Amino acid sequence: MALPEISLNPLSKVQAPSAALLAFFQAEPKEKGKEKKEEVVTHDLPVFAGKKIKELSDLENYLKGANCFWGKKNETLLIRAYRFGTASNLGLIGLGKKTALDTDTLRQVGAATYHFQKKEHLKDVTLDIQSILNTVRESKRAYSLQAFCEGYLLASYDYREFKKEDKSLFYPQGIELVGLKGKDFEKARDKARALVESIFFTRLLGDKPGNALTPKELARLCQEMARSNGLTCQILGAKEMEKEGMGLLLGVAKGSAQEPQLIVMEHKGGRKTDRPFVMVGKGVTFDSGGISLKPSDRMEEMKYDMMGAATVAGVMQACAKLKLPVNVIGYIGAVENMPGGKAQKPGDIQRSVSGKTVEITNTDAEGRLVLADVLEYAQKQNPQAIVDFATLTGAVIVALGTVTTGIMGTHKGLIGVIKAASEATDERVWELPLYDEYEEDLKSHYADIRNSGGREAGSQKGGTFLKFFMDKKYPWVHFDIAGSASHRKDRNYFSSKHGAGVMVRLMAHLLQNWKTLK
C-alpha cells in the first residue's frame, strides 16, 4: 500500500478540496464565583491557532450555538456543507493546551488528522499548517513539521496481505499543507517519509505470520531491501555458522525444520578508516518455547519474537535512505524455536563462538542464546559501539508496560547519547541496572553460565547473561523491546493489532548525530 502524499504550498492549489481543515487550541476553563458553593466552571471557545480571518467570526458563532468542539488534543469535528473558501466542508482539529504543544503532540495531531480523513471519507484536504507552526519557536518549525508528517504517515499503516480485497475500504490520497515555503520544510517532509517507510518495513516483517516469515524468507526480504537501497548484504547458513562455532544459535534451531540464517547488512556512510557502529537483532521468527513449551494462550503473538531483527532491518533501511554519515553493520540471527525430535533439552550444554559453555536450563530463554553468539561474532569487526534489540523478557513488560523500552549496558557515554536521542525523538527508554549480584543467579555447576535464573529482576538477568559475552573494551547497550515492539494503544500513530516499529526513529537520530565516544 502506497503512502499518502503530503504537498507543501504557500497558497492552496487544490481547487475544490473535500474539506478545509483548521486547527484550534483547547478552550481553557474559567472559574466564576468566590465561594465554593457558587463555583461554576465555564469554557471559552477554542482558540484558532493562526491569525484572525474574516470567516472566523461566523464559525465562532456557529460553535457557540452548537456546543460541540473544544479543541482538545486529537479532537476532530466535520461540519458538512459548511463552505469555507473553495471547500464545501470544514474540518476542525484539536491541538490541546497551547502550553503543552510539543513534537509528539504534533505527531499525534498528524495521526488524528489522517484517521479523521479516513473516517469521514475525505479524499483530499487542505490544512493551514503555518497557523500551527507560527506558535512554535522558529528554529524548531522544520522539525515540528517533520513530526506532524511522521504521525500522519504512520497512521496510514494497514497490514492486509492475507485479507480478501475489499473495494469498499477507503484510504485518503493525501493532504495539502498550506502556508509553507522553503527547502528546510521540504527536507523535513521528505525525511519523515524516509523514516516512515523504514518503520513500515519493520512493522511489515513483524506482522507476517510464522509460516510466511521463516528465517530464509526473512533473509530474502532483507537482501531485497538491501539491494534496493544500496546496502551490502551477506547471508550465512547453518554450515557456515557451524564453521564459526555458533553452538548457542544452532542449538536453538535444532528442533525446527527451518534452517537458521545469519543476515549481515552494511551501510558505508563514513570514511573507509572509521570503525563501524554495530547493531544486533534477535530474529526468532516463531517462538514456541521449545521443549519448555509456552502456554497455548496468545502463543500466536510469538510471531513478534523477531521484532529485534525487524528493528535492525528498519534502521539499516533508514541509514541508506537518509544517507547517514557513519559506517553501520547490522547483524540478524534468524531462527525458529520449535519442540521437534532433535530439539535441545533442559540440561543440555552448548558452546559459543568464543568457546564459552552454557547450561540450558530453560529452552524458552532462547533469544539470549541467539544474541550471545551473534554478539561475539560481531565483535570481530572491532566496533566503535554495539547495541542489540530483542523482545527478550516478559519481565520488562511487568516493570515498564508497553510505553517504554528497557535499556541496560556497560558504557555511560553510550547510554547518555541513547537517552538524548530518546528525548529528541519521543521514543521513551528507561535504564535498568546490571548489578554484579545478578550474576549469582546465573552460575552453573556444569558450565560457565546458565541461560536462566530466578523470576526476580528477569530483564536485568537477561542483560547480565548477554554482558557475559561482551568484551569490556566495547561500549554496549541492550534494548529490551518486549513490551514496546507491538500492540501499542498509548499513541494513535501505533496500532493495537500490529507491530509498532519502535527505536527506528531513535536510532536514525542517534546515528545522524553520531560522535566518537570518549
Return the active site residues. 294, 368
**Separation between Cα atoms, residue 272 and residue 261, nearest integer Å:** 28
Q: Does domain 213-512 have CATH number 2.60.120.380?
A: no
Beta bridge partners of 409: 477
Would you tell me the crossing angle of helices 307-321 and 215-229 to the nearest 10 degrees?
A: 10
**Separation between Cα atoms, residue 251 and residue 5, nearest integer Å:** 47
Superfamily (CATH) of domain 5-194: Leucine Aminopeptidase, subunit E, domain 1 (3.40.220.10)
CB-based burial, 87-126: b 16+ in 10 Å, e otherwise: bebbbbbbbbeeeebebbbbbbbbbbbbbbbbebebebbb
Beta bridge partners of 449: 358
* Nine-digit cell string for 139: 528554529
pLDDT by position in tens, the chain (length 518): 689 999 999 999 998 899 999 999 998 766 555 555 555 545 578 999 988 788 888 898 888 888 889 999 999 999 999 988 889 999 999 999 999 999 999 999 999 999 999 999 999 999 999 999 999 999 999 999 999 999 999 999 999 999 999 999 999 999 999 999 899 999 999 999 999 999 999 999 999 999 999 999 999 999 999 999 999 999 999 999 999 999 999 999 999 999 999 999 999 999 999 999 999 999 999 999 999 999 999 999 999 999 999 999 999 999 999 999 999 999 999 999 999 999 999 999 999 999 999 999 999 999 999 999 999 999 999 999 999 999 999 999 999 999 999 999 999 999 999 999 999 999 999 999 999 999 999 999 999 999 999 889 999 999 999 999 999 999 999 999 999 999 999 999 999 999 999 999 999 999 999 999 98
Would you tell me the crossing angle of helices 504-512 and 307-321 to the nearest 10 degrees?
A: 40
- What are the backbone angles phi and psi of residue 88, rounded to the nearest 5°? -95, -5
Chain centre distance of CA 373: 25
Domain boundaries, the chain: 5-194, 213-512
Whole-structure pTM value:
0.96
